[in-house]
């Protein structure tokens, strides 16, 4: 969902910085965060990816994230997008992935995973559709079944969702539902 950039800003005088990733599930197993009341961590997100997550929901897909970092910015974006699964501070992504599959009553072949770095390879090796972004490490792209057209943080999530929905024959219907839900109200 990001291009990997992390922006650090000095907190305004008197500001109270929350250094815990909100109310999202997390594990303190190898994760890391900026834990300073004088620094604010920020990341950039792409609106096309957000619309893609809405399309995923309309197409019957569940969407989540598993990240090693712990960031209030990510927690905020995840709540905004109403992601189904959000795990921060996770070094062992495969175990968390398997827990999600168990909770959703899915097997590995029924899940897709988007990765960009070597920490993602264990999950990519155990999912039905391993997706990489163009700005991923070479070894990650080499193990992917599909590489998105757009880079991470610049529409890659949308690419992955459209690829899946298109393969399932659900993309057009999801787009039409998206447009209808955001169109003018009919008054007669």
Q: Which candidate, 120, 113, 169, 119, places its Cα nearest to that of 146? A: 113
Q: Which candidate, 131, 34, 114, 103, places its Cα nearest to that of 67? A: 114
pLDDT at 18: 53
Specify the 3-state DSSP secondary structure of 99. helix
pLDDT at 1: 86
Residue span of the structural domain in which 74 resides: 7-182
Can you tell me the mean pLDDT for 19-28?
47
Query: Is residue 188 domain-resident?
Result: no
Query: Is residue 28 domain-resident?
Result: yes
Query: Is residue 87 domain-resident?
Result: yes
In this prediction, residue 180 has a pLDDT band, given cuts at 50, 70 and 90, of: very high
Query: Is residue 2 domain-resident?
Result: no
Can you tell me the mean pLDDT for 168-188?
88
Please name the helix (run of DSSP H) or strand (run of DSSP E) that holds residue 8, with its range, or none. strand 7-10
- Number of domains comprising the chain: 1
Q: Are 118 and 9 in contact (CB under 8 A)?
A: no
Query: Is residue 163 domain-resident?
Result: yes
pLDDT at 22: 45
Q: What is the CATH number of the domain that holds 133?
A: 3.40.50.1000
Query: Is residue 187 domain-resident?
Result: no
pLDDT per position as a tens digit, 54-92: 999 999 999 999 999 998 899 999 999 999 999 999 999
Query: Is residue 77 domain-resident?
Result: yes
Residue 5 pairs in a beta bridge with none
In the chain, what percentage of residues exceed pLDDT 70?
Answer: 87
Can you tell me the mean pLDDT for 23-41?
62
Per-residue pLDDT at 14 exceeds 80: no
Can you tell me the mean pLDDT for 103-108?
98
């Amino acid at each position: 969902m990001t291009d990997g950039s992390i922006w650090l800003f000095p907190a305004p005088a008197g500001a109270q910085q929350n250094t815990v990733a909100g109310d999202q599930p997390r594990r303190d197993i190898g994760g890391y965060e900026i834990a300073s009341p004088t620094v604010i961590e920020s990341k950039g997100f792409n609106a096309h990816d957000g619309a893609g997550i809405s399309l995923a929901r309309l197409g019957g897909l569940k969407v989540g994230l598993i990240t090693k970092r712990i960031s209030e910015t990510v927690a905020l974006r995840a709540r905004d997008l109403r992601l189904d699964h959000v795990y921060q501070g996770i070094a062992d992504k495969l175990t968390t992935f398997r827990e999600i599959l168990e909770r959703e009553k899915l097997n590995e072949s029924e899940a897709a995973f988007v990765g960009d770095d070597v920490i993602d390879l264990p999950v990519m090796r155990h999912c039905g559709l391993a997706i990489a972004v163009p700005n991923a490490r070479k070894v990650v792209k080499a193990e992917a079944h599909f590489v998105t057209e757009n880079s991470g943080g610049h529409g890659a999530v949308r690419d992955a969702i459209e690829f899946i929905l298109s393969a399932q024959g659900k993309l057009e219907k999801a787009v039409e539902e998206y447009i209808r839900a955001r169109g003018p109200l009919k008054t007669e």
